[in-house]
Amino acid sequence: MPQDIPATFNEVPTQQLRPRLLALTAAPQWADDLLARRPYPSSAALLDTSDALVRSLPEAQIDAALAGHPRIGERAAGLDPAAAARSAGEQAGMASADEAVERAMAEGNAEYEERFGRIYLVAAAGRSAGELLALLRQRLGNDPEVELDVVRRELAAITRQRLQAELQAELQAPSDDGDEEER
């Protein structure tokens, strides 16, 4: 087994891993299809499969996944503490936004939702508040089909980042193979 993918990912029972996957991206079809394709020979194969699955999700599954995402610039109300913290970290660029940018983002979010019927989703990690606002304004000019494709790509990018972090954390977790000191 390659060392870049935790053995537990391929071996843990589906009923234990599925909720962890849904905490990353709340699209049941993605989680089920990702699990059905196990075992993965490498993390690259897993991540590439995840990308392809997210980009092929039907619109209803995209909307299910968006239910687990707060609006850009808003606190993650209703999410569990770990998900809220992850979201806040991903949107860290908004923390430095001044009042005018915050107001423009809120107005842009409302306009986006009215136009497209879903929240504005963007892979926000590493992007500044100004960049997030500029992307929002640019995407408001998309037609609905083009925008749905953009949302799929953004969701795939977010899911990849989250899945990579999950795999990395699992690889770095102390092994529970009996090497602990005896008491």
- Cα separations in angstroms, 20 against 5, 98, 114, 151: 16, 35, 32, 22
The pLDDT score that the predictor gives to residue 21 is 95
The C-alpha angle with vertex 4 and arms to 21 and 65, in degrees rounded to 5, equals 20
Lowest mean pLDDT among 32-41, 51-60, 72-81, 100-109: 72-81
Cβ(57)–Cβ(30) under 8 Å? yes
Domains of the chain: 7-172 (1.10.3330.10)
Residues 20-46 have pLDDT tens digits of: 999 999 999 999 999 999 999 999 999
Round to whole Å and give the CA distance between 98 and 16.
Answer: 42
**What pLDDT, on a 0 to 100 scale, did the predictor assign at position 182?**
37
- For 106-163, the pLDDT digits (tens) are 999 999 999 999 999 999 998 999 999 999 999 999 999 999 999 999 999 999 999 9
Q: Which residues, other chains included, contact 146 with Cβ-Cβ below 8 Å and sequence gap of 6+? A: none
> How large a percentage of the chain has pLDDT more than 70?
82
Query: How is 140-167 classified by DSSP, letter by letter?
Result: TTS-HHHHHHHHHHHHHHHHHHHHHHHH
The answer to whether the peptide bond before residue 39 is cis (omega within 30 degrees of 0) is yes
Are 84 and 76 contacting, i.e. CB atoms less than 8 angstroms apart?
Answer: yes
Q: Which two tokens stand for residue 99?
A: 């009042």
- The number of CA neighbours under 13 Å toward the Cβ of 24 is 22
Rounded to whole angstroms, the Cα distance separating 2 from 120 reads 37
